[in-house]
């Protein structure tokens, strides 16, 4: 680091994304991307928008908000778009957390939350998961601060039901609850229906997973107009032209092509259940997932060894070194062919190990 970096940032541990190798061809099951391309409609609109890249994009995302309003059934004044959902998460930390309002996180969750907390010097209250990795709403409801809840959970895939979210939000109208629904399109219940009833609920979503738009970077926040106004103030103070023309256009196409999105999500969910069944047959413990990935433990085999062996065989999965996750691997769900390759390689590695 240079001598110009502020002393308070010298110990910052940044978020570590999953590997994005460019030199070797892998079966890539490590970063929860969609195995399918964006819809043809989204691609066509993006190509059309490329002709106007000499002009600034619409800072208000007017047409994109109109499309989202139609699809989600919420008013345009309740919608905000961001450059990936990570951007709006960062704004939420700036807008709704400080030294007196900590961030309340579950013990295992999306790692970007703790990175934001460190960057903005926000204290963190950590609530443990149950032994089976499910979320206990009661300690979350009893904690003081702004709650950030990934639902389904970003590492386990386990979802919390809508009524439990209602209980959490209604338990204290003066506490903000932020529900990150990055993976909701793959079969989890959504709390979107509660946003008009509870002004202290903010929903964050991304088009990266269910809409095959990871490379376009498009996130969305839905909530009370007051909350959206707060976030807009942060956005316009940081980067008012945060969504480029091509991404706005592609986002419109991706949102309106609902049948394409629904069909892809259904295929992923089917492949998820197939993979979970096969892993359990091989002796794995597999958590029940409502996301586009599985968290699986190979039992007596070493999870890090399996991760490294799969990598050497051309299959990328994710392994975490935290105490409760070091015996697990996280596997993104791809096409049936990709999952069969993963299963075959896994069986071969574990057979050789035994």
Q: Please state the domain extents for the chain.
A: 7-36+259-353, 40-257
- The whole-number pLDDT of residue 354 equals 57
* Whole-number Å distance between alpha carbons of 184 and 179: 11
* Whole-number Å distance between alpha carbons of 309 and 117: 34
Q: 135-164: per-residue pLDDT in tens?
A: 999 999 999 999 999 999 999 999 999 999
- Among 179, 124, 121, which residue's Cα sits nearest to residue 150? 179
* Whole-number Å distance between alpha carbons of 353 and 146: 46
- Among 110, 128, 197, 118, which residue's Cα sits nearest to residue 162? 197
CATH class given for the domain over 40-257: alpha beta
User: β-pairing, 103-106 with 329-332?
Assistant: unpaired
Q: 92-151: per-residue pLDDT in tens?
A: 999 999 999 999 999 999 999 999 999 999 999 999 999 999 999 999 999 999 999 999
Q: Give bridge partners of residue 106 from the DSSP assignment.
A: 127
99 sits in the region (left: phi over 0; alpha: psi -120 to 50; else beta) called: alpha
Arch. (CATH architecture) of 7-36+259-353:
Alpha-Beta Complex (3.90)
As given in the structure block, the two tokens for residue 7 are 């002393």
**pTM summary value:** 0.96
* Whole-number Å distance between alpha carbons of 182 and 151: 8
Q: 225-275: per-residue pLDDT in tens?
A: 999 999 999 999 999 999 999 999 999 999 999 999 999 999 999 999 999
Asked whether the beta carbons of 292 and 34 are under 8 A apart, the reply is yes
């Amino acid at each position: 680091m240079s001598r110009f970096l502020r002393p308070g940032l010298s110990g910052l541990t940044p978020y570590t994304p999953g590997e994005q190798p460019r030199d070797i061809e892998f079966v890539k099951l490590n970063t929860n991307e969609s195995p399918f391309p964006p819809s043809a409609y989204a691609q066509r609109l993006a190509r059309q928008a490329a002709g106007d890249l000499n002009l600034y994009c619409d800072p208000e995302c007017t047409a994109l908000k109109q499309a989202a309003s139609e699809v989600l059934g919420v008013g345009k004044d309740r919608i905000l778009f961001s450059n990936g959902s990570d951007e709006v998460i960062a704004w939420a930390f700036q807008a709704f957390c400080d030294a007196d309002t900590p961030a309340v996180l579950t013990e295992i969750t999306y790692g970007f939350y703790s990175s934001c907390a460190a960057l903005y010097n926000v204290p963190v209250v950590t609530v443990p998961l149950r032994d089976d990795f499910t979320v206990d709403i009661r300690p979350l409801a009893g904690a003081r601060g702004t709650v950030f809840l990934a639902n389904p959970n970003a590492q386990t895939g386990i979802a919390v039901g809508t009524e439990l979210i209602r209980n959490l939000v209604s338990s204290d109208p003066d506490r903000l609850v932020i529900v990150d629904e990055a993976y909701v399109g793959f079969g989890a219940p959504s709390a979107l229906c509660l946003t008009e009833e509870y002004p202290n609920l903010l929903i964050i979503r991304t088009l990266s997973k269910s809409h095959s738009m990871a490379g376009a970077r498009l996130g969305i926040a839905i909530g009370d107009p007051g909350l959206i106004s707060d976030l807009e103030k942060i956005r316009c103070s940081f980067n008012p032209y945060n969504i480029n023309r091509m991404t706005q256009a592609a986002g419109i196409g991706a949102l309106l092509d609902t049948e394409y999105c629904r069909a892809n999500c259904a295929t992923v969910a089917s492949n998820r259940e197939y993979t979970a069944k096969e892993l359990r047959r091989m002796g794995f413990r597999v958590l029940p997932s409502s996301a586009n990935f599985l968290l699986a433990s190979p039992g007596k085999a070493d999870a890090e060894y399996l991760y490294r062996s799969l990598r050497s065989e051309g299959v990328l999965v994710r392994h975490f070194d935290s105490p409760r996750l070091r015996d697990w691997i996280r596997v993104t769900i791809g096409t049936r062919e990709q999952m069969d390759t993963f299963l075959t390689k896994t069986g071969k590695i574990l057979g050789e190990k035994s």
